[in-house]
Amino acid sequence: MEKKWKSSPVQCWGKAKELRMKIYQEIKDAKAQGKVLIGGGAESLIAIPTGFDHNILVGEPYGASISYLYKDNPDLYFQIVEAAEHAGYPRDLCAYMRNYLGSVILDKYIFGGHFPKLDFCLQAGFCDTHSKWYQAVSEIEKIPYFSLDLVPFDWEIAGESEKTKQLKRDYIVSQIYEAIEWMEKTIGKKFDDEKFIQGVINESESTSLWAKVCILNRAIPAPLDEKTILSFYILAVLGRPRQDVVDFYKELLAEVEDRVANQIAANPYERARVMTDSQPPWFALDFFRLLESYGVVSVGAHYSFGLSGGWEYDEAGKTWNAARPPSEQGVELKTREDAAKWLADWWLSTGTVCRGVRHSGIGKIQRMKDLVDKWHVDGLIVHLNRGCEGTSLGQMDFVQTLMKEGLPVMTFEGNHADPREYDEKRTFARIESFMETMGLKQVYEYKKY
Amino acid sequence: MIAIGYDLGSAYSKVVIMKDGKVIGKGIAKTTMEPLESVAAARDAALKEAGIDEKQIDKVGITGSGRKLIKTADVDTTDVSADAAGVNYFDKEYKTALDVGGEEARALKVSADGKVINFAVNDKCAAGAGAFVEAMTRAMQLTLEEFASASLESTQKIPINAQCAIFAESEVVSLISDETPRQDICRAVHDGIAERLTSMAKRVGLEEKVALIGGAVMNKGLVKSIKDGLGMEATVLPDPLFVGAIGIAVLAAKS
């Protein structure tokens, strides 16, 4: 079959890889350079500690990186997971958490050397397991732990009252103040409000820019495929309050705009589009290559769009657009109070993954329908993820809804960070059946099995 | 037009030869550690029954989990598509098919032209497939035929809650120790499988008419449990083991 579209590699890909490794290296070197080193989750309001000269080891991508060892260094991978299991953490717990704890217990940082000595842990309770995760870390490492208690706003279509929203907002703001005072007392350093304000602005900019990149992927042909998207979204997860992350997303946005304008495709054979749901099995991303061989491009996922993206609901259009950072709303953050209020509101209202975790049902279903519609999706591949209770919540609800509306949907069981719970060969066989169901045949040979 | 269809399953290799749309030969061999030998044995049996030479074959179709073993087929599809074409060959009115194989069970929603509209497959566990029954027959020290007959004589419905064949075996042993009538235990095993199959069928959109295919539906006890679970009539197709092979032969002939 003839190639249908022009295609070329995304130029920013190399930079994304460099920036990711730079962040992990900085974590390794943080203590030697006199910086504060913090442990916490991706959804732990990582802009709060930006008032210190610090680095943060964000747990979920680190857990994913450990699972990737299964490909390149399986001996180390098994040492890590077995260390966690020997310590009593069972296999039905969050797979990221088990991998991370195994690395702590084994005292091995997979990017070289011992596990970095954290000063404290900071985590928001957007996911119950994550709150316990850092409690366990603090107990093992004998370091202090601050946990923020929060529940995001419900989905707009659920009609949450302004009164409860304000209560949630005030509750978070008070905890941000408390966290700042606690951190100052814990590490004996002064919190810099200017840096904090900039960190909050950067968090809003990064997540807004990422949402804009995702929106560009509505174009036909899609300028990005999901496997590449996963290399980009991760930077916001690792360090969205960082200036270099904001700068990266600005550059990426410009490149993707150019690809759309010139119809440069991720897959030159694009003739059908799918989306996935939940984290993919990180150690086995080759199924995206199998899809490509059928002329299929996976254009993204609620997970990667939502975890790193800031989205605001458009009541008139009944859809979600990129949330507007302070610069686009004509807002100037001048004080700690301004920044704390903005961060609380941004966090509670613009993250769609945390809302999926806390409020499944109609809101998540509506969001999935919106993604399918706006990104011109022909089929959905749902990873029934045994490793993450949060992102697998409500999956069968939207599967049933979308199937009833005529969308082809395929499910497969697995685990995003534990290869022992994923059968790649059977998943490939199932995808091949799914492709046939969608009336597609391979346009070129790709045979891993 | 003579077409040959290979369905290389995890338990058996099945081969069908069709001439002008009619089955003229069938062959079957247990899949062994030497799968190509199993394929050859099944093919030779089919050729012998058809009374033809291999050189007379015009088209070759291949399906099943071992389909990558044969590199030179005219048509190579997954077993889901082959099943749909096979079911459609028997009757275009079939809208749902349940294929209960050795280690895999599938539910299919089939279009009037024999294409798959939707499908569901059991996940990483044989608890909804034939291997589950085989494990339970061993626990009960019965032959498969005895197990199926005993199930039909059951007078009460009891649950088996384990979702895993290994744990279910220990549950069966406990029921034996409790002196539960063996007929009721056999039925409970079938009901458990039927429940999983019914769930898959509902997921793809259960509609009449329903076809039952695959080796495990030759077990009458299981078929009764499936019909009870579905709450509707379901037909065991002739030679249910060969439906996938027939389907791929049909697709090969059309290619």
**Rounded percentage of chain A residues whose pLDDT exceeds 90:** 89
The predicted pLDDT at position B124 comes to 65
Please indicate whether, in this complex, the C-beta atoms of A439 and B115 are within 8 angstroms of each other: yes
Residues in chain A within 8 Å Cβ distance of B116: 433, 436-437
Q: pLDDT tens-digit profile of B125-150?
A: 666 777 888 888 988 899 999 999 99
Mutate to test the interface with B, among A411, A432, A437, A445 (most CBs of B within 10 A): A437
Given a contact cutoff of 8 angstroms between Cβ atoms, the answer to whether A61 and A237 are in contact is yes
pLDDT at A358 over 90: no
Given a contact cutoff of 8 angstroms between Cβ atoms, the answer to whether A419 and A67 are in contact is yes
Helix ranges (H only) for A87-152 are 95-106, 128-141
Residue of A nearest to B84 (CA): A437
* Chain B nearest CA to A398, separation (Å): 12
Report the residue from B68, B116, B124 with minimal CB separation from A436: B116
Q: What phi and psi values does residue B218 have, to the nearest 5 degrees? A: -80, -5
Which residue type, as a one-letter code, is found at position A94? C
The predicted pLDDT at position B70 comes to 81
For residue A265, list its beta bridge partners.
Answer: A7
Which sign, positive or negative, has the C-alpha torsion B157, B162, B163, B167?
Answer: negative
Given a contact cutoff of 8 angstroms between Cβ atoms, the answer to whether B137 and B216 are in contact is no
Q: pLDDT tens-digit profile of A154-174?
A: 998 888 999 999 999 999 999
The predicted pLDDT at position B126 comes to 65
Which pTM was predicted? Answer: 0.91
Residues in chain B within 8 Å Cβ distance of A403: 118, 205
Note the ipTM here: 0.82
The predicted pLDDT at position A50 comes to 97
Given a contact cutoff of 8 angstroms between Cβ atoms, the answer to whether A124 and A45 are in contact is yes
Q: pLDDT tens-digit profile of A248-298?
A: 999 999 999 999 999 999 999 999 999 999 999 999 999 999 999 999 999
Q: With a CB-CB cutoff of 8 Å, which residues 50-79 of chain B face chain A?
A: 65, 68, 77-79
* Chain A nearest CA to B13, separation (Å): 18
Please indicate whether, in this complex, the C-beta atoms of A432 and B205 are within 8 angstroms of each other: no
Q: How many Cβ atoms sit within 10 Å of the Cβ of residue A105?
A: 18
Q: How confident is the model at residue B103 (pLDDT cuts 50, 70, 90)?
A: confident
pLDDT at A151 over 90: no
Residues in chain A within 8 Å Cβ distance of B65: 429
Please indicate whether, in this complex, the C-beta atoms of A437 and B119 are within 8 angstroms of each other: yes
The candidate with the shortest Cα–Cα distance to B107, out of B7, B198, B218, B243, is B198
d(CA A415, CA A411): 13
Helix (H, G, I), strand (E, B) or coil at A141: helix
Tokens of A406: 């005529």
Q: pLDDT tens-digit profile of A318-337?
A: 999 999 999 999 999 999 99
Q: How many Cβ atoms sit within 10 Å of the Cβ of residue B77?
A: 26
Tokens 């993204």 sit at which residue?
Answer: A300
The predicted pLDDT at position B127 comes to 65
Contact status of B110 with chain A (Cβ, < 8 Å): no
Domains and CATH numbers, chain B: 2-124+196-254 (3.30.420.40)
Please indicate whether, in this complex, the C-beta atoms of B118 and A408 are within 8 angstroms of each other: yes
Where in chain A are the domains?
6-437
Mutate to test the interface with A, among B119, B164, B196, B206 (most CBs of A within 10 A): B119
Q: pLDDT tens-digit profile of A87-140?
A: 999 999 999 999 999 999 999 999 999 999 999 999 998 888 999 999 999 999
Please indicate whether, in this complex, the C-beta atoms of A433 and B65 are within 8 angstroms of each other: no
Residues in chain A within 8 Å Cβ distance of B120: 411
Contact status of B113 with chain A (Cβ, < 8 Å): no
Mutate to test the interface with B, among A432, A440, A446 (most CBs of B within 10 A): A432
Given a contact cutoff of 8 angstroms between Cβ atoms, the answer to whether B17 and B58 are in contact is no
* Chain B nearest CA to A419, separation (Å): 13
| Order of all β-strands in the sheet with A54-58 | A54-58, A36-40, A120-124, A145-148
Q: What is the mean pLDDT of residues B110-137?
A: 85
Residue of B nearest to A433 (CA): B78
d(CA B190, CA B172): 12
Average model confidence (pLDDT) across chain A: 95
Residue of A nearest to B121 (CA): A430
The predicted pLDDT at position A411 comes to 94
Mutate to test the interface with A, among B67, B103, B124 (most CBs of A within 10 A): B124
Report the residue from B119, B120, B124 with minimal CB separation from A426: B124
**Rounded percentage of chain B residues whose pLDDT exceeds 70:** 97
Q: What is the mean pLDDT of residues A199-216?
A: 98
Please indicate whether, in this complex, the C-beta atoms of A413 and B124 are within 8 angstroms of each other: yes
> By CB neighbour count within 10 A (0-12 exposed, 13-18 middle, 19+ buried), where does A376 fall?
middle
Report the residue from B118, B124, B205 with minimal CB separation from A437: B118
Average model confidence (pLDDT) across chain B: 91
Name every residue whose Cβ is closer than 8 Å to that of residue A234 and which is 6 or more positions away in sequence. A16, A20, A61, A308
Mutate to test the interface with A, among B203, B204, B248, B255 (most CBs of A within 10 A): B203
* Chain B nearest CA to A29, separation (Å): 43
The predicted pLDDT at position B54 comes to 92
The candidate with the shortest Cα–Cα distance to B209, out of B47, B88, B122, is B88
Residue of B nearest to A447 (CA): B68
d(CA B92, CA B113): 7
Report the residue from B65, B80, B121 with minimal CB separation from A436: B80
pLDDT at B55 over 90: yes
